[in-house]
Amino acid sequence: MAKAKSAFVCTECGSEFSKWQGQCSGCREWNTLQEIRVGATVLPGAAPAAGAVAGGAARSASNGRGGYAGKLSDNVTDLSNVSLAEVPRFSSTFGEFDRVLGGGLVPGSAVLLGGHPGAGKSTLLLQTACKLAQHKRSLYVTGEESLSQVAMRAHRLQLPTQGLKMLAETSVETILATAEREKPEVLIIDSIQTMHLEDLSSAPGGVSQVRESAAALTRFAKRTNTVLLLVGHVTKDGSLAGPKVLEHMIDASLLLEGDGDSRFRTLRGQKNRFGAVNELGVFAMVELGLKEVKNPSAIFLSRSEEQSSGSLVMVVWEGTRPILIEVQALLDDSPLGNPRRVAVGLDGNRLSMLLAVLNKHGGLFTGDQDVFLNVVGGVKVLETSADLAVLCAVVSSLQNRPLPRELVVFGEVGLSGEIRPVPSGQERIVEAAKHGFTRAIVPKGNAPKNPPKGMTIVAVDKLSQALEAL
């Protein structure tokens, strides 16, 4: 394949140059030159060729940028005539993975799996690919490892290797040619940062290479109804050549989080066109790879036998299900003039606001205390239903008073000290009763008319009432 010629065009004045330079010699502006492919893009200020309108569709198809969402069509369809048939899905062989995806893999979709190095992205996709290859045509493209390294990992994880097609390649043109020949139903790219197009002169991993490579692969996936799974690394700030660059062109963006010394990994959906966002899937890293955790509340509730102060269980809503998570608070006399406020798993600004509400409407002063807050299990709580549980844990640590083990708390705290109801309150109470909790402090708006058997509901609408009920 002959390498296409490229030119550099100034975005301000339209001057064209054969090489890149920092300053445009035409308008004297800095950093305005952008690389384009000669013949694929009309230069700014240039008149279109004769017959450009008539042959626009043909040229778009020939230069590789046409038909992004499928085949080119000139027919206009009324919205009422569009078929409402369910998009056919198939399972990824992981129940937690399917949950985060919204019910399974959708043909023609592009899914980006991001995460820090060592989180387990390649392991998860290799397990998925080996199991899917038993009944689906799958192609696994690796640009980071050799085929022997991938085979050694599959052997160590005791995975079925029969039927999985492997390709060690970094050229997108070669990958697309191979995919056209093999016609896979599932195409896995590990990773998108190693892929490159011959037309672009920039190095692999750059923003332009990552964006163009992902666009070419996505066009192929939508045209052929292939499930495309991309692996994306994140940098320290999570922006350069990472998932943030690709979020606008893919269908689902998933983030696999977990420290290297932690056994558990959390898979959270950040963008999903086929399901709920902020859905949470939990995996455990074992000797044979990642194993799904069917009941995440059980691992987050592994508490010590001796009840200590500052520990409390709350019910948070993750995606489409409730999860019981333990929150811990520790208050200590501060030797500093400006006491510390440290929150792990919660918003630090939210913690400062809640402490101010506790002082104003609860009558408890914490201005001379260092406050440390931790959500057990490494889960990040993004909703406001944890407000009341956080304040109860802070009060428990401040007064050195252990709370009952069978107590569960949830509710949003307003700036005037009121306790506001939260969505899906009934389901949260049922989930707590299922795990053996017998007492719950909830907002008055979430109090059920018929509480579960054996569950005592304490409905409150002010912070002072909640503190009295502890």
Dihedral sign of CA atoms 431, 437, 441, 444 in order: positive
List the helix and strand counts (H, then E) for the chain: 12, 21
Annotated binding residues, written as ranges, equal: 115-122
Return the axis-axis angle of helices 348-361 and 387-398, rounded to nearest 10°: 70
Dihedral sign of CA atoms 74, 80, 85, 87 in order: positive
Please give, one letter per residue, the 3-state secondary structure of 355-420. HHHHHHHCCCCCCCEEEEEEECCCCCCCCHHHHHHHHHHHHHHHCCCCCCCCEEECCEECCCCEEE
Cβ atoms of residues 21 and 30 within 8 Å = no
Annotated binding residues for ATP, written as ranges, equal: 115-122
Cβ atoms of residues 241 and 203 within 8 Å = no
CA distance 317 to 444: 18
**Three-state secondary structure call for residue 421:** coil
Beta-bridge partners for 156: none
CA distance 226 to 217: 10
